Structure 1
Amino acid sequence: VRGELAMLAPALVQEPAPRVLYAARAGTALHCGARGDPPPRVSWLADDGSVLHDQPGLRRIYSNGTLEMLPSSAYEVTSSTVRCRAANVHGTAVSRDVTLVPVPDESWEAVANAGAATAGGVAAVTCGSAGARDPEHVRAALWYHGDTVLHLDPPSQGSRYLVAGNTLLIRDVSHSDAGAYSCLARHAVTGATRRARPALLAVTAGGASSAPRLLATGGELSVQAGHPVCLPCVASDHPPPQYTWYREREGRLQPVQAAAEGWAWAGGAAQCVRRAALASAGLWICKAYNVFGDATAHTTLHVHDDSLSVVVAPTVLVTYDVSDTFIY
Protein backbone atom coordinates (compact mmCIF):
# COMPACT_ATOMS: atom_id res chain seq x y z
CA VAL A 1 0.00 0.00 0.00
CA ARG A 2 2.78 2.37 0.92
CA GLY A 3 4.53 1.87 -2.47
CA GLU A 4 1.29 2.44 -4.39
CA LEU A 5 0.57 5.60 -2.43
CA ALA A 6 4.10 6.90 -3.08
CA MET A 7 3.49 6.50 -6.82
CA LEU A 8 0.15 8.32 -6.62
CA ALA A 9 1.28 11.12 -4.33
CA PRO A 10 2.79 14.29 -5.86
CA ALA A 11 6.50 14.52 -6.62
CA LEU A 12 8.14 17.69 -7.91
CA VAL A 13 9.92 17.29 -11.24
CA GLN A 14 10.78 20.96 -11.73
CA GLU A 15 11.46 23.75 -9.28
CA PRO A 16 13.28 27.09 -9.42
CA ALA A 17 16.81 27.70 -8.20
CA PRO A 18 17.06 28.63 -4.51
CA ARG A 19 17.96 32.24 -5.41
CA VAL A 20 16.52 34.06 -8.42
CA LEU A 21 17.87 37.48 -9.40
CA TYR A 22 16.01 39.40 -12.09
CA ALA A 23 15.70 42.89 -13.52
CA ALA A 24 12.81 44.62 -11.74
CA ARG A 25 11.80 46.51 -14.89
CA ALA A 26 11.55 43.25 -16.85
CA GLY A 27 10.00 40.89 -14.29
CA THR A 28 10.49 37.14 -14.35
CA ALA A 29 8.63 33.83 -14.42
CA LEU A 30 9.14 30.84 -12.12
CA HIS A 31 8.09 27.38 -13.22
CA CYS A 32 7.10 24.48 -11.02
CA GLY A 33 6.08 21.05 -12.27
CA ALA A 34 4.85 17.93 -10.51
CA ARG A 35 3.61 14.44 -11.30
CA GLY A 36 1.08 12.30 -9.50
CA ASP A 37 -2.24 10.51 -9.96
CA PRO A 38 -4.54 12.32 -10.12
CA PRO A 39 -2.47 15.20 -11.54
CA PRO A 40 -1.60 17.47 -8.61
CA ARG A 41 -2.69 21.06 -8.33
CA VAL A 42 0.25 23.46 -8.12
CA SER A 43 0.09 26.58 -5.98
CA TRP A 44 2.61 29.03 -4.49
CA LEU A 45 3.13 29.86 -0.83
CA ALA A 46 4.47 32.97 0.87
CA ASP A 47 7.17 32.70 3.54
CA ASP A 48 4.46 32.56 6.22
CA GLY A 49 2.77 29.58 4.53
CA SER A 50 -0.21 31.49 3.13
CA VAL A 51 -1.32 30.81 -0.44
CA LEU A 52 -0.36 33.47 -2.97
CA HIS A 53 -2.99 34.88 -5.33
CA ASP A 54 -2.91 37.26 -8.26
CA GLN A 55 -2.04 40.79 -7.20
CA PRO A 56 -2.36 43.53 -9.84
CA GLY A 57 0.94 45.21 -10.61
CA LEU A 58 2.91 42.65 -8.60
CA ARG A 59 2.31 39.02 -9.66
CA ARG A 60 0.18 36.67 -11.71
CA ILE A 61 -0.28 32.96 -11.07
CA TYR A 62 -1.18 30.55 -13.87
CA SER A 63 -2.90 27.19 -13.70
CA ASN A 64 0.14 25.46 -15.25
CA GLY A 65 2.24 26.15 -12.13
CA THR A 66 3.94 29.34 -13.35
CA LEU A 67 4.42 32.32 -11.03
CA GLU A 68 5.02 35.55 -12.96
CA MET A 69 6.52 38.53 -11.19
CA LEU A 70 5.36 41.58 -13.12
CA PRO A 71 7.70 44.39 -14.22
CA SER A 72 8.13 47.20 -11.71
CA SER A 73 9.60 50.66 -12.17
CA ALA A 74 9.96 51.22 -8.44
CA TYR A 75 13.57 51.89 -7.43
CA GLU A 76 13.26 50.31 -3.99
CA VAL A 77 12.16 46.73 -4.45
CA THR A 78 12.50 44.23 -1.64
CA SER A 79 13.29 40.53 -1.85
CA SER A 80 10.79 37.85 -0.88
CA THR A 81 10.69 34.11 -0.27
CA VAL A 82 8.20 31.74 -1.89
CA ARG A 83 7.70 27.98 -2.17
CA CYS A 84 5.92 25.80 -4.68
CA ARG A 85 3.32 23.29 -3.42
CA ALA A 86 1.85 20.37 -5.34
CA ALA A 87 -1.13 18.55 -3.82
CA ASN A 88 -3.68 15.88 -4.67
CA VAL A 89 -5.90 13.59 -2.61
CA HIS A 90 -2.93 11.35 -1.79
CA GLY A 91 -0.54 13.93 -0.38
CA THR A 92 1.44 17.12 -0.72
CA ALA A 93 4.96 17.98 -1.87
CA VAL A 94 6.57 21.33 -1.06
CA SER A 95 9.68 22.76 -2.73
CA ARG A 96 12.69 24.34 -1.09
CA ASP A 97 12.60 28.06 -0.27
CA VAL A 98 13.07 30.27 -3.32
CA THR A 99 14.38 33.79 -2.63
CA LEU A 100 13.32 36.34 -5.24
CA VAL A 101 15.68 39.29 -5.59
CA PRO A 102 14.47 42.01 -7.98
CA VAL A 103 17.34 44.23 -9.09
CA PRO A 104 16.29 47.81 -9.90
CA ASP A 105 17.92 50.07 -12.43
CA GLU A 106 20.50 52.22 -10.71
CA SER A 107 23.14 54.80 -11.44
CA TRP A 108 26.65 53.37 -11.71
CA GLU A 109 29.83 53.96 -13.67
CA ALA A 110 32.36 51.61 -15.23
CA VAL A 111 35.91 52.15 -13.98
CA ALA A 112 39.11 50.96 -15.67
CA ASN A 113 42.46 50.80 -13.88
CA ALA A 114 45.91 50.20 -15.30
CA GLY A 115 49.27 50.69 -13.65
CA ALA A 116 52.83 50.13 -14.78
CA ALA A 117 54.30 46.94 -16.20
CA THR A 118 57.86 45.91 -16.91
CA ALA A 119 58.76 45.23 -20.51
CA GLY A 120 58.72 41.48 -21.10
CA GLY A 121 56.45 40.85 -18.11
CA VAL A 122 52.69 40.69 -17.64
CA ALA A 123 50.46 43.78 -17.63
CA ALA A 124 47.02 43.90 -16.01
CA VAL A 125 44.06 46.18 -16.76
CA THR A 126 41.00 45.84 -14.55
CA CYS A 127 37.37 46.74 -15.23
CA GLY A 128 35.13 47.48 -12.28
CA SER A 129 32.25 49.67 -11.22
CA ALA A 130 31.50 52.60 -8.94
CA GLY A 131 28.07 53.12 -7.43
CA ALA A 132 26.64 49.67 -8.21
CA ARG A 133 24.83 48.16 -5.23
CA ASP A 134 26.06 44.70 -6.22
CA PRO A 135 29.36 45.24 -8.06
CA GLU A 136 29.85 41.49 -8.61
CA HIS A 137 27.05 41.68 -11.20
CA VAL A 138 29.03 44.15 -13.35
CA ARG A 139 31.28 42.34 -15.82
CA ALA A 140 33.56 43.40 -18.65
CA ALA A 141 31.98 42.77 -22.05
CA LEU A 142 34.49 44.48 -24.38
CA TRP A 143 38.04 45.80 -24.12
CA TYR A 144 39.57 48.75 -25.97
CA HIS A 145 43.15 49.84 -26.66
CA GLY A 146 42.66 53.46 -27.56
CA ASP A 147 39.55 53.45 -29.77
CA THR A 148 40.24 49.97 -31.15
CA VAL A 149 38.23 47.02 -29.90
CA LEU A 150 40.49 44.15 -28.90
CA HIS A 151 39.37 40.91 -30.54
CA LEU A 152 40.28 38.24 -28.03
CA ASP A 153 40.57 34.54 -28.85
CA PRO A 154 39.34 31.85 -26.45
CA PRO A 155 41.86 31.28 -23.65
CA SER A 156 44.79 29.01 -24.40
CA GLN A 157 48.28 28.46 -23.05
CA GLY A 158 49.78 30.50 -25.88
CA SER A 159 47.33 33.41 -25.73
CA ARG A 160 49.02 36.80 -25.61
CA TYR A 161 45.84 38.39 -24.26
CA LEU A 162 43.85 36.64 -21.55
CA VAL A 163 40.65 37.67 -19.81
CA ALA A 164 40.57 36.45 -16.21
CA GLY A 165 37.38 37.58 -14.48
CA ASN A 166 37.21 41.36 -14.98
CA THR A 167 40.93 41.62 -15.70
CA LEU A 168 42.68 41.85 -19.07
CA LEU A 169 46.17 40.33 -18.95
CA ILE A 170 48.88 40.96 -21.55
CA ARG A 171 51.98 38.77 -21.59
CA ASP A 172 55.41 39.70 -23.00
CA VAL A 173 54.31 43.31 -22.79
CA SER A 174 56.27 45.84 -24.85
CA HIS A 175 56.32 49.61 -25.27
CA SER A 176 53.87 49.26 -28.17
CA ASP A 177 51.30 48.01 -25.64
CA ALA A 178 51.48 51.23 -23.63
CA GLY A 179 48.64 53.71 -23.88
CA ALA A 180 44.99 54.12 -23.00
CA TYR A 181 42.78 51.13 -22.20
CA SER A 182 39.09 51.06 -21.37
CA CYS A 183 36.25 48.58 -21.12
CA LEU A 184 32.55 48.30 -21.81
CA ALA A 185 30.92 46.87 -18.69
CA ARG A 186 27.54 45.16 -18.62
CA HIS A 187 25.28 44.52 -15.65
CA ALA A 188 24.59 40.77 -15.74
CA VAL A 189 21.06 41.15 -14.33
CA THR A 190 19.65 44.39 -15.77
CA GLY A 191 21.65 44.34 -19.02
CA ALA A 192 22.67 48.01 -18.63
CA THR A 193 26.05 48.90 -20.20
CA ARG A 194 28.61 51.62 -19.45
CA ARG A 195 31.95 52.45 -21.02
CA ALA A 196 34.79 53.34 -18.69
CA ARG A 197 37.02 56.34 -19.09
CA PRO A 198 40.46 55.40 -20.43
CA ALA A 199 43.19 54.32 -18.02
CA LEU A 200 46.84 54.73 -18.96
CA LEU A 201 49.12 51.69 -19.03
CA ALA A 202 52.81 52.54 -18.71
CA VAL A 203 55.54 50.09 -19.78
CA THR A 204 58.93 50.60 -18.14
CA ALA A 205 62.37 49.07 -18.49
CA GLY A 206 62.38 47.96 -14.85
CA GLY A 207 62.52 49.27 -11.33
CA ALA A 208 64.04 48.77 -7.94
CA SER A 209 64.18 45.17 -6.74
CA SER A 210 61.50 44.29 -4.21
CA ALA A 211 59.17 41.54 -3.03
CA PRO A 212 56.21 40.82 -5.34
CA ARG A 213 53.28 43.21 -5.11
CA LEU A 214 49.94 41.93 -6.34
CA LEU A 215 48.52 43.87 -9.29
CA ALA A 216 45.48 41.75 -10.13
CA THR A 217 43.58 39.08 -8.21
CA GLY A 218 40.25 37.34 -8.70
CA GLY A 219 38.46 37.89 -5.41
CA GLU A 220 35.05 36.35 -6.22
CA LEU A 221 34.48 34.81 -9.66
CA SER A 222 31.41 33.08 -11.09
CA VAL A 223 31.16 30.81 -14.14
CA GLN A 224 28.65 28.49 -15.75
CA ALA A 225 29.47 24.79 -15.61
CA GLY A 226 31.14 23.56 -18.77
CA HIS A 227 32.72 26.93 -19.61
CA PRO A 228 36.42 27.79 -19.34
CA VAL A 229 37.52 30.19 -16.62
CA CYS A 230 40.85 31.79 -15.71
CA LEU A 231 41.86 33.08 -12.29
CA PRO A 232 44.34 36.00 -12.22
CA CYS A 233 47.37 36.38 -9.97
CA VAL A 234 49.67 39.04 -11.41
CA ALA A 235 52.51 40.45 -9.34
CA SER A 236 55.15 43.11 -9.96
CA ASP A 237 58.27 42.00 -11.89
CA HIS A 238 61.25 43.21 -9.83
CA PRO A 239 62.66 40.58 -10.26
CA PRO A 240 60.05 38.39 -12.04
CA PRO A 241 58.21 36.21 -9.52
CA GLN A 242 57.45 32.52 -9.60
CA TYR A 243 53.91 31.33 -8.96
CA THR A 244 52.46 28.35 -7.12
CA TRP A 245 48.74 27.59 -7.02
CA TYR A 246 46.86 25.68 -4.32
CA ARG A 247 43.29 24.54 -3.74
CA GLU A 248 41.53 24.11 -0.44
CA ARG A 249 40.01 20.65 -0.15
CA GLU A 250 38.49 19.35 3.06
CA GLY A 251 40.23 22.08 5.02
CA ARG A 252 43.69 21.33 3.60
CA LEU A 253 45.74 23.12 0.95
CA GLN A 254 46.82 20.96 -1.96
CA PRO A 255 49.04 22.02 -4.89
CA VAL A 256 47.13 22.38 -8.15
CA GLN A 257 48.00 19.70 -10.69
CA ALA A 258 48.07 21.79 -13.88
CA ALA A 259 47.56 18.86 -16.26
CA ALA A 260 44.47 17.66 -14.39
CA GLU A 261 42.94 21.04 -13.49
CA GLY A 262 43.73 23.00 -16.68
CA TRP A 263 46.86 25.00 -17.38
CA ALA A 264 49.03 27.75 -15.95
CA TRP A 265 49.25 30.84 -18.16
CA ALA A 266 52.46 32.92 -18.34
CA GLY A 267 54.18 30.81 -15.71
CA GLY A 268 51.25 31.02 -13.30
CA ALA A 269 50.16 34.66 -13.61
CA ALA A 270 46.78 33.04 -14.24
CA GLN A 271 45.43 29.55 -13.63
CA CYS A 272 42.89 28.37 -16.20
CA VAL A 273 40.28 25.61 -15.94
CA ARG A 274 39.29 24.03 -19.25
CA ARG A 275 35.71 23.15 -18.33
CA ALA A 276 34.42 24.35 -14.99
CA ALA A 277 32.53 21.75 -12.98
CA LEU A 278 30.88 21.85 -9.59
CA ALA A 279 34.06 20.22 -8.27
CA SER A 280 36.01 23.29 -9.47
CA ALA A 281 34.19 25.57 -7.03
CA GLY A 282 35.85 26.71 -3.84
CA LEU A 283 38.93 28.55 -2.65
CA TRP A 284 41.96 28.87 -4.93
CA ILE A 285 45.18 30.34 -3.51
CA CYS A 286 48.11 31.75 -5.46
CA LYS A 287 51.53 32.48 -4.01
CA ALA A 288 53.91 34.77 -5.93
CA TYR A 289 57.48 34.84 -4.66
CA ASN A 290 61.03 35.93 -5.48
CA VAL A 291 64.24 36.23 -3.48
CA PHE A 292 62.92 39.33 -1.67
CA GLY A 293 59.65 37.88 -0.39
CA ASP A 294 56.20 36.70 -1.40
CA ALA A 295 52.56 37.72 -1.74
CA THR A 296 49.42 35.60 -1.55
CA ALA A 297 46.12 35.99 -3.42
CA HIS A 298 42.82 34.29 -2.62
CA THR A 299 40.09 33.66 -5.20
CA THR A 300 36.72 32.04 -4.51
CA LEU A 301 35.23 30.39 -7.57
CA HIS A 302 31.48 29.85 -7.84
CA VAL A 303 30.22 27.38 -10.46
CA HIS A 304 26.55 27.40 -11.52
CA ASP A 305 24.91 24.47 -13.28
CA ASP A 306 21.48 25.41 -14.68
CA SER A 307 21.13 22.04 -16.42
CA LEU A 308 20.52 20.16 -13.19
CA SER A 309 17.04 18.68 -12.86
CA VAL A 310 15.76 17.61 -9.49
CA VAL A 311 12.97 15.24 -8.54
CA VAL A 312 11.85 15.99 -5.00
CA ALA A 313 9.70 13.54 -3.07
CA PRO A 314 7.51 15.03 -0.33
CA THR A 315 9.10 15.23 3.09
CA VAL A 316 5.76 14.39 4.69
CA LEU A 317 3.28 12.22 2.82
CA VAL A 318 -0.27 12.34 4.15
CA THR A 319 -2.62 9.71 2.72
CA TYR A 320 -6.28 9.23 3.37
CA ASP A 321 -8.12 5.91 3.76
CA VAL A 322 -11.75 5.27 4.43
CA SER A 323 -11.13 4.67 8.12
CA ASP A 324 -7.64 5.89 8.94
CA THR A 325 -5.06 8.58 8.25
CA PHE A 326 -1.49 7.40 7.79
CA ILE A 327 1.55 9.66 8.04
CA TYR A 328 4.85 8.35 6.61
Structure 2
Amino acid sequence: MTTATAFVTKERRSGAAMRTAVAVLLLAAACAGARLAAVLQGPVFLQEPPHRADFSNSTGVVLPCSAHGNPAPALRWQTGDGAPALEVAGLRSVLPNGSLLLAPFSPRQFRPDVHTAAYHCVASNSVGTAVSRRVAVRAAVAKQQYEAQVYDEYVVAGNTAVFRCHVPAFVRDHVTVTGWLRARSQRITPDVSAGK
Protein backbone atom coordinates (compact mmCIF):
# COMPACT_ATOMS: atom_id res chain seq x y z
CA MET A 1 0.00 0.00 0.00
CA THR A 2 1.36 3.42 -0.92
CA THR A 3 1.32 6.25 1.60
CA ALA A 4 1.44 9.84 0.40
CA THR A 5 2.89 12.45 2.73
CA ALA A 6 3.29 16.17 2.11
CA PHE A 7 5.64 18.29 4.15
CA VAL A 8 5.08 21.99 4.45
CA THR A 9 8.35 23.63 5.44
CA LYS A 10 7.32 27.28 5.28
CA GLU A 11 4.67 28.67 7.47
CA ARG A 12 3.64 31.08 4.80
CA ARG A 13 2.29 29.29 1.68
CA SER A 14 1.18 30.80 -1.52
CA GLY A 15 -2.21 29.84 -2.94
CA ALA A 16 -0.58 28.18 -6.00
CA ALA A 17 1.76 26.09 -3.83
CA MET A 18 -1.15 24.94 -1.67
CA ARG A 19 -3.21 23.94 -4.71
CA THR A 20 -0.22 22.02 -6.10
CA ALA A 21 0.30 20.18 -2.79
CA VAL A 22 -3.41 19.23 -2.64
CA ALA A 23 -3.35 18.05 -6.26
CA VAL A 24 -0.28 15.88 -5.60
CA LEU A 25 -1.96 14.35 -2.56
CA LEU A 26 -5.16 13.64 -4.48
CA LEU A 27 -3.21 12.11 -7.36
CA ALA A 28 -1.22 9.88 -5.01
CA ALA A 29 -4.38 8.73 -3.27
CA ALA A 30 -6.07 7.96 -6.61
CA CYS A 31 -3.05 5.94 -7.78
CA ALA A 32 -2.97 3.97 -4.53
CA GLY A 33 -6.70 3.24 -4.84
CA ALA A 34 -6.30 2.14 -8.46
CA ARG A 35 -3.50 -0.24 -7.49
CA LEU A 36 -5.61 -1.66 -4.69
CA ALA A 37 -8.55 -2.19 -7.05
CA ALA A 38 -6.25 -3.99 -9.51
CA VAL A 39 -4.98 -6.32 -6.78
CA LEU A 40 -8.32 -8.09 -6.21
CA GLN A 41 -10.50 -9.30 -9.08
CA GLY A 42 -13.26 -11.84 -9.23
CA PRO A 43 -13.09 -14.69 -11.77
CA VAL A 44 -13.61 -13.83 -15.45
CA PHE A 45 -13.80 -16.58 -18.07
CA LEU A 46 -11.18 -16.52 -20.79
CA GLN A 47 -12.65 -19.62 -22.42
CA GLU A 48 -16.02 -21.25 -21.76
CA PRO A 49 -17.29 -24.60 -22.98
CA PRO A 50 -19.57 -24.57 -26.04
CA HIS A 51 -23.36 -24.79 -25.65
CA ARG A 52 -23.35 -28.32 -27.06
CA ALA A 53 -20.78 -31.07 -27.58
CA ASP A 54 -21.63 -34.13 -29.67
CA PHE A 55 -18.90 -36.74 -29.88
CA SER A 56 -18.19 -40.35 -30.67
CA ASN A 57 -17.24 -42.97 -28.12
CA SER A 58 -14.10 -43.62 -30.16
CA THR A 59 -12.89 -40.01 -29.94
CA GLY A 60 -14.05 -38.62 -26.61
CA VAL A 61 -14.16 -34.84 -26.10
CA VAL A 62 -12.38 -32.12 -24.14
CA LEU A 63 -14.58 -29.31 -22.80
CA PRO A 64 -12.38 -26.21 -22.45
CA CYS A 65 -12.53 -23.87 -19.48
CA SER A 66 -10.11 -21.19 -18.33
CA ALA A 67 -10.49 -18.08 -16.21
CA HIS A 68 -8.40 -15.33 -14.70
CA GLY A 69 -8.72 -13.22 -11.59
CA ASN A 70 -6.73 -12.17 -8.57
CA PRO A 71 -6.18 -14.32 -6.68
CA ALA A 72 -6.07 -16.93 -9.46
CA PRO A 73 -9.40 -18.77 -9.50
CA ALA A 74 -9.76 -22.50 -8.86
CA LEU A 75 -11.71 -24.34 -11.57
CA ARG A 76 -14.13 -27.19 -10.95
CA TRP A 77 -17.01 -28.78 -12.85
CA GLN A 78 -20.56 -29.49 -11.84
CA THR A 79 -23.44 -31.32 -13.46
CA GLY A 80 -26.50 -29.52 -14.78
CA ASP A 81 -28.27 -29.94 -11.43
CA GLY A 82 -25.37 -28.37 -9.51
CA ALA A 83 -23.83 -31.56 -8.12
CA PRO A 84 -20.03 -31.88 -8.34
CA ALA A 85 -18.87 -33.66 -11.51
CA LEU A 86 -16.56 -36.06 -9.72
CA GLU A 87 -13.95 -38.13 -11.51
CA VAL A 88 -15.23 -41.38 -12.98
CA ALA A 89 -12.22 -43.63 -13.54
CA GLY A 90 -11.40 -43.91 -17.23
CA LEU A 91 -14.43 -41.88 -18.33
CA ARG A 92 -14.49 -38.38 -16.81
CA SER A 93 -11.68 -36.29 -15.33
CA VAL A 94 -10.54 -32.69 -14.96
CA LEU A 95 -7.27 -31.89 -16.75
CA PRO A 96 -4.55 -29.77 -15.09
CA ASN A 97 -5.56 -26.78 -17.26
CA GLY A 98 -9.16 -26.95 -15.91
CA SER A 99 -10.75 -28.54 -19.00
CA LEU A 100 -13.10 -31.50 -18.57
CA LEU A 101 -12.08 -34.69 -20.37
CA LEU A 102 -14.69 -37.22 -21.39
CA ALA A 103 -12.35 -39.99 -22.52
CA PRO A 104 -12.97 -42.47 -25.36
CA PHE A 105 -14.90 -45.50 -24.10
CA SER A 106 -16.18 -48.88 -25.23
CA PRO A 107 -19.91 -49.35 -25.93
CA ARG A 108 -20.37 -51.35 -22.73
CA GLN A 109 -18.91 -48.45 -20.67
CA PHE A 110 -21.61 -45.99 -21.83
CA ARG A 111 -23.14 -44.15 -18.87
CA PRO A 112 -25.99 -41.69 -19.43
CA ASP A 113 -25.01 -39.68 -16.32
CA VAL A 114 -21.59 -39.04 -17.92
CA HIS A 115 -22.14 -39.23 -21.68
CA THR A 116 -25.62 -37.71 -22.10
CA ALA A 117 -25.53 -34.97 -19.51
CA ALA A 118 -25.15 -31.25 -18.88
CA TYR A 119 -22.17 -29.57 -17.23
CA HIS A 120 -21.03 -26.13 -16.00
CA CYS A 121 -17.50 -24.92 -15.32
CA VAL A 122 -17.19 -23.01 -12.04
CA ALA A 123 -14.35 -20.55 -11.35
CA SER A 124 -13.95 -19.38 -7.73
CA ASN A 125 -11.59 -17.20 -5.72
CA SER A 126 -11.85 -15.20 -2.50
CA VAL A 127 -13.54 -12.34 -4.36
CA GLY A 128 -16.34 -14.36 -5.95
CA THR A 129 -17.59 -17.17 -8.17
CA ALA A 130 -18.42 -17.32 -11.88
CA VAL A 131 -20.47 -20.12 -13.47
CA SER A 132 -20.10 -20.85 -17.18
CA ARG A 133 -22.87 -21.40 -19.66
CA ARG A 134 -24.45 -24.87 -19.65
CA VAL A 135 -22.92 -27.38 -22.06
CA ALA A 136 -25.04 -30.34 -23.13
CA VAL A 137 -22.94 -33.36 -24.08
CA ARG A 138 -24.08 -36.34 -26.08
CA ALA A 139 -22.03 -39.35 -27.07
CA ALA A 140 -22.83 -41.41 -30.14
CA VAL A 141 -21.78 -44.99 -29.63
CA ALA A 142 -20.32 -46.42 -32.84
CA LYS A 143 -20.83 -50.11 -33.58
CA GLN A 144 -23.36 -50.47 -30.78
CA GLN A 145 -26.16 -52.84 -31.66
CA TYR A 146 -29.64 -51.40 -31.76
CA GLU A 147 -32.95 -52.34 -33.25
CA ALA A 148 -35.69 -50.09 -34.55
CA GLN A 149 -39.17 -51.10 -33.43
CA VAL A 150 -42.59 -50.74 -35.01
CA TYR A 151 -45.49 -51.37 -32.68
CA ASP A 152 -48.96 -52.60 -33.60
CA GLU A 153 -51.47 -49.86 -34.27
CA TYR A 154 -55.19 -50.44 -33.99
CA VAL A 155 -57.53 -48.68 -36.38
CA VAL A 156 -61.13 -48.98 -37.51
CA ALA A 157 -61.46 -50.68 -40.90
CA GLY A 158 -61.43 -48.15 -43.74
CA ASN A 159 -59.40 -45.57 -41.81
CA THR A 160 -55.71 -44.76 -42.12
CA ALA A 161 -53.17 -46.26 -39.76
CA VAL A 162 -49.94 -44.43 -38.98
CA PHE A 163 -46.91 -46.53 -38.14
CA ARG A 164 -43.90 -45.01 -36.46
CA CYS A 165 -40.38 -46.26 -36.49
CA HIS A 166 -39.10 -46.12 -32.89
CA VAL A 167 -35.32 -45.70 -32.80
CA PRO A 168 -33.45 -45.86 -29.45
CA ALA A 169 -32.62 -42.43 -28.02
CA PHE A 170 -28.83 -42.92 -28.05
CA VAL A 171 -28.79 -43.12 -31.88
CA ARG A 172 -31.99 -41.26 -32.80
CA ASP A 173 -30.25 -38.08 -33.94
CA HIS A 174 -27.86 -40.06 -36.12
CA VAL A 175 -30.39 -42.27 -37.91
CA THR A 176 -32.61 -41.34 -40.84
CA VAL A 177 -35.47 -43.63 -41.84
CA THR A 178 -35.27 -43.97 -45.62
CA GLY A 179 -37.85 -46.69 -46.20
CA TRP A 180 -39.78 -49.61 -44.80
CA LEU A 181 -39.69 -53.36 -45.45
CA ARG A 182 -42.83 -55.45 -45.71
CA ALA A 183 -42.30 -59.15 -45.02
CA ARG A 184 -38.52 -58.52 -45.19
CA SER A 185 -38.53 -58.44 -48.99
CA GLN A 186 -40.80 -55.68 -50.30
CA ARG A 187 -39.25 -52.23 -49.86
CA ILE A 188 -41.62 -49.30 -49.33
CA THR A 189 -40.04 -45.90 -49.96
CA PRO A 190 -41.57 -42.45 -49.67
CA ASP A 191 -42.88 -40.90 -52.87
CA VAL A 192 -41.58 -37.35 -52.64
CA SER A 193 -43.35 -36.18 -55.80
CA ALA A 194 -46.75 -37.23 -54.43
CA GLY A 195 -46.04 -35.93 -50.93
CA LYS A 196 -46.29 -39.40 -49.38
**TM-score relative to the length of structure 2:** 0.51
**Compared with structure 1, are the counterparts of its residues 33 and 136 closer, same or farther at alpha carbon in structure 2 (3 Å cutoff)?**
farther
Counterpart in the other structure of 2:132: 95
Counterpart in the other structure of 2:82: 49
Once the two structures are TM-superposed, the CA of residue 53 in structure 1 deviates from its matched residue by 2.8
Unaligned residue ranges in structure 2 (runs of 5+)? 1-32, 146-166, 177-190
In structure 2, the residue corresponding to 1:83 is in which secondary structure?
A: strand
* 91, 94, 104: which one aligns with 1:61: 94
Aligned counterparts, 1:1-328, within 5 A: 4=37, 8-74=41-107, 76-78=110-112, 79-106=116-143, 133-135=172-174
Q: State the distance in 1 between where 2:118 and 2:134 align.
A: 6
Query: What is the letter of the counterpart of residue 102 of structure 1?
Result: A
Structure with the greater alpha carbon radius of gyration: 2
Contact 1:24/1:71, CA 8 A, preserved across alignment: yes
Output one character per residue of 1:139-168: Cα deviation in whole Å (capped at 9) or x when no partner: xxxxxxxxxxxxxxxxxxxxxxxxxxxxxx
Output one character per residue of 1:255-280: Cα deviation in whole Å (capped at 9) or x when no partner: xxxxxxxxxxxxxxxxxxxxxxxxxx
Aligned length: 120
Contact 1:5/1:90, CA 8 A, preserved across alignment: no
**Compared with structure 1, are the counterparts of its residues 41 and 105 closer, same or farther at alpha carbon in structure 2 (3 Å cutoff)?**
same
In structure 1, the residue corresponding to 2:37 is in which secondary structure?
A: helix
Output one character per residue of 1:195-244: Cα deviation in whole Å (capped at 9) or x when no partner: xxxxxxxxxxxxxxxxxx965xxxxxxxxxxxxxxxxxxxxxxxxxxxxx
Contact 1:77/1:102, CA 8 A, preserved across alignment: no
Query: What is the letter of the counterpart of residue 51 of structure 1?
Result: P
Contact 1:77/1:103, CA 8 A, preserved across alignment: no
Higher strand share: 1
Over the aligned positions, Cα root-mean-square deviation in angstroms equals 3.4
Query: What is the letter of the counterpart of residue 74 of structure 2?
Result: R
In structure 1, the residue corresponding to 2:172 is in which secondary structure?
A: coil
Query: What is the letter of the counterpart of residue 141 of structure 2?
Result: P
Once the two structures are TM-superposed, the CA of residue 45 in structure 1 deviates from its matched residue by 0.8
Q: State the distance in 1 between where 2:100 and 2:94 align.
A: 5
In structure 1, the residue corresponding to 2:137 is in which secondary structure?
A: strand
Q: State the distance in 2 between where 1:54 and 1:107 align.
A: 25
Unaligned residue ranges in structure 1 (runs of 5+)? 109-129, 138-212, 216-294, 297-328
Give the share of equivalent positions with the same residue, in percent.
Answer: 30
Once the two structures are TM-superposed, the CA of residue 136 in structure 1 deviates from its matched residue by 6.9
Return structure 1 stretches of 4+ with deviation > 6 angstroms: none
Query: What is the letter of the counterpart of residue 85 of structure 1?
Result: V
Query: What is the letter of the counterpart of residue 53 of structure 1?
Result: L
Q: State the distance in 2 between where 1:23 and 1:62 align.
A: 20
**TM-score relative to the length of structure 1:** 0.32
Q: State the distance in 1 between where 2:54 and 2:42 align.
A: 32
**Compared with structure 1, are the counterparts of its residues 66 and 107 closer, same or farther at alpha carbon in structure 2 (3 Å cutoff)?**
closer
Contact 1:42/1:86, CA 8 A, preserved across alignment: yes
Once the two structures are TM-superposed, the CA of residue 77 in structure 1 deviates from its matched residue by 4.4
